[in-house]
Amino acid sequence: MHRDPSEREYLPHSSGCFLCGEENRAGVRARFFVEGNEVLGRVILPPHLNGYKNVAHGGVVSALLDETMGWAATVFGKTHPMYVTGELTVKFLSLVPVGAEIEVRSRLVEDAGRLAYCEGEIRCGGKVCARARGSSLR
């Protein structure tokens, strides 16, 4: 079941954050929310975040996955502390465009105490463009 976007409860953000900071003019300005057992965000990457013309920089793609995976660990972990990245592996499957809506989704796979293991993916037009696995530390 999908909720009306106006009724979504968005996760907290930091005003200067590169990914979610609304005051960071150089950033992505993404907002993330919980849907079912996943952390989700939809965003249109601005052209200044490209690597090659019309293609998102791989570091930005990785950062989006890192952010949502960290939130998945925090939201769905047993104790709900803030987590930091321990390890992140990204597989780039196809180009991620700038100027088109992309969707990033991540979920907690295992809460192993001090470590949380998560997976995520980025899609555009229904096509999986990147997948990630990683661990987060608390």
The confidence band for 7, taking pLDDT boundaries of 50, 70 and 90, is low
Q: What is the pLDDT of residues 54-86, one digit of tens each?
A: 999 999 999 999 999 999 999 999 887 788 999
| pLDDT-based confidence at residue 1 (cuts at 50, 70, 90) | very low
Where does the pLDDT of residue 88 fall: very low under 50, low under 70, confident under 90, or very high at 90 and above?
very high
Residue 113: pLDDT over 80? yes
Provide, rounded to the nearest whole percent, the portion of the chain with pLDDT above 70.
Answer: 95
CA distance 20 to 113: 27
Confidence of residue 30 (pLDDT cuts 50, 70, 90): confident
At 4 the pLDDT is 56
In one-letter notation, the amino acid at residue 3 is: R
Residue listed under structure tokens 């793609």: 61
pTM (predicted TM-score): 0.90
Q: What mean pLDDT is reported for the chain?
A: 90
Domains of the chain: residue spans and CATH:
9-137 (3.10.129.10)
Length of the chain: 138
